[in-house]
Chains A and B, each alone.
Chain A
Amino acid sequence: GAVVSQHPSWVICKSGTSVKIECRSLDFQATTMFWYRQFPKQSLMLMATSNEGSKATYEQGVEKDKFLINHASLTLSTLTVTSAHPEDSSFYICSASAFYEGEKLFFGSGTQLSVL
């Protein structure tokens, strides 16, 4: 199946700093990518929908100024957690739809963020 690459796999940062997470579709073009967050022992929660060349659509309760999403090309979307705090520590996962694969959504391997 299609491959979605997410980087880094894990990151530790100090409180107040910003962290950027990259999501790449390696063998297909993705006009739409999705960003999820998952806390321990909980399900995935959709944060935002990232559209190439336009502003992201955020789910209710997700601060757009804190979680900056950029989808500048058909193969790359980035999520920047600005001024990170310990409560932002979570598992962040991106996904992209591969139209040629029959509308399946493929997921990256996730990024574990720990804010000290």
Chain B
Amino acid sequence: DAKTTQPPSMDCAEGRAANLPCNHSTISGNEYVYWYRQIHSQGPQYIIHGLKNNETNEMASLIITEDRKSSTLILPHATLRDTAVYYCIVRPLQGGSEKLVFGKGMKLTVNP
């Protein structure tokens, strides 16, 4: 079962920052927070992951609260191509053998 909760949907204006929330109140100490997105009829795309420090890459930033019970994915300048279903997932790191369990995700719609 998924250990995260996300709102079902969110709208964002093109060019604005999109802040996608995720709750993971039962996260364990060895579990990382992963974000993936899925554009219609494609395989999920990796965005970012982190343990407790904030992370940033060319796609997004990940802000994890100090108690690690929630996090926010930030797309700094949303474009129409960012319209997708975004999945927040917690997963332990154990040599690559741990599966990703997907929840329902959140549909982000970027409007022109």
Say which residue of A43, A49, A107, A110 sits within 8 Å of B97 (CB atoms): A49
- Chain B neighbourhood of A32, CB < 8 A: 96-97
Task: Say yes or no: is A113 at the interface (Cβ < 8 Å to chain B).
Answer: no
- Chain A neighbourhood of B93, CB < 8 A: 103
Chain A contact residues: over half helix, strand or loop, or mixed? strand
Task: Say yes or no: is A90 at the interface (Cβ < 8 Å to chain B).
Answer: no
Report A28-60 CB contacts with B as 1/0, cut-off 8 Å.
Answer: 001110101000000111100101000000000
Complex CA distance for A91 and B101, rounded to whole angstroms: 17
Closest to A49 in B: B99
Query: How many residues from B make CB contacts under 8 Å with A?
Result: 23
Is the beta-carbon distance between B49 and A93 smaller than 8 angstroms? Answer: no
Known: A46-B101, A106-B46, A107-B46. 19 other contacts (CB 8 A): A1-B46, A31-B97, A43-B87, A43-B103, A43-B105, A44-B44, A44-B102, A45-B102, A46-B99, A46-B100, A51-B97, A93-B43, A102-B49, A103-B96, A104-B49, A107-B36, A107-B45, A108-B43, A109-B42
B interface list, Cβ under 8 A from A: 32, 34, 36, 38, 41-46, 49, 87, 93, 95-97, 99-105
A interface list, Cβ under 8 A from B: 1, 4, 6, 30-32, 34, 36, 43-46, 49, 51, 91, 93, 95, 97-99, 102-110, 112
